Each structure stands twice: as structure tokens, then as C-alpha cells.
Amino acid sequence: MCIVDDEMNKVDVNKISKEEWLTLERMVPIQACQTFMNALLDQGGSESALNNIRPYMRLSGHAFSINMTRLFDIKGDDLDRIGDVCFLYERLFGYDMNEIERSSERLVRVGGIKCPWQGNPKEGCMAGHEMFFNAVCESINPEYECRFTQMITKGDPMCSYVIEKKKK
């Protein structure tokens, strides 16, 4: 077993504020994901990258739904639970989405001006947000889907999405 002693480290992590440290903690993993997405895009293009990552995002979204529902004791009807799990995901990533509608039929959120994927390939957002949320929907009730109506990474001024039952 290796014991780490902060006294022995030569880097003073207190040279930056706690806020700056939290920003680093959030952004380093996001940048790593962006690097992986760029590698997939370089390897085979957009369709190939999305097809390759889809099963992993599906598993991740299912696991996240199960774990967050248990951890936060999320209750309510299917749409409420989907909305709450998606809210937690956005909160963890620092997305600035605002819910503008929640009814028994659908949920709508807009915002995304602080999107960590801004300036990166749209496929990162498509996988890390849209695919992931569809996996959350599938995990809770496969009759629901998430449909992004706007994405900053596709050139839109903001992001927006709708979660509702799939059209027949």
C-alpha cells in the first residue's frame, strides 16, 4: 500500500483558489473525453465515431440512472424521474440549462451557454448529452426519448431539448 503524504509533495495546490481547483477538476476529465472523441473522429469519421461510442453511452446512462435514483431516492412518475436524473447529470457537468416546461406530457430545457463542449466537435455533445439522456430515458421508461432541438456545437446560439414520449 502506498501512503501519500501531502508534506512530501513539491507542488503547492493551495496556490490557486478552491474555485479554480474545482474548475480544473471538472475540465480535465471533459478535455480527456474530447480527446477520445477527436481520436474516434480521426479514425473513422462522424458516423463511425457515434456508432462506436453508442453502446458505451447506453451502458453508462443506464448505470447513472440506477445509481442516481438510489443515491438521491428519486421518486415520481417516469417523466419526473427522467427529468431529475438529467438535472443531476447537468449539474455535475456544470451545464447551465434551465427548465422552461414540465408537464405530464413533456419536459423542455434551454440554455447551455456555459457548455464544456463549446468549440469542440458536435459528436461530443451528441454522445455525451443526447445519447446519454436517451439512455436515461430508456433505463427508466423506453417509451420516452430525448430530442435536442438546438446545439451550440452545431452552430445554434444555445442548446435546447425536449423529453417526451416517442412519436408512434
> Nearest to residue 102, comparing CAs of 80, 121, 126?
80
Q: Is residue 75 pLDDT above 90, yes or no? A: yes
pLDDT at 120 (0 to 100): 86
Q: How confident is the model at residue 11 (pLDDT cuts 50, 70, 90)?
A: confident
pLDDT at 7 (0 to 100): 63
Q: Considering the entire predicted model, what is its pTM?
A: 0.86
As a whole number of angstroms, the distance between CA 92 and CA 45 comes to: 29
What's the rounded mean pLDDT across residues 14-21? 92
C-alpha distances in Å from residue 67, one per residue of 40, 62, 64, 75, 85:
28, 9, 5, 13, 10
Q: Is residue 72 part of a domain?
A: yes
Quote the domain boundaries for residue 153: 21-165
Total domains in the fold of the chain: 1
**Average pLDDT of the chain, as a whole number:** 91
Q: Is residue 63 part of a domain?
A: yes
Q: Give the SS3 label for residue 106.
A: strand
Q: Is residue 145 part of a domain?
A: yes
Q: Is residue 60 part of a domain?
A: yes
What is the domain-level CATH number for residue 89? 3.30.1380.20
What's the rounded mean pLDDT across residues 40-47? 96
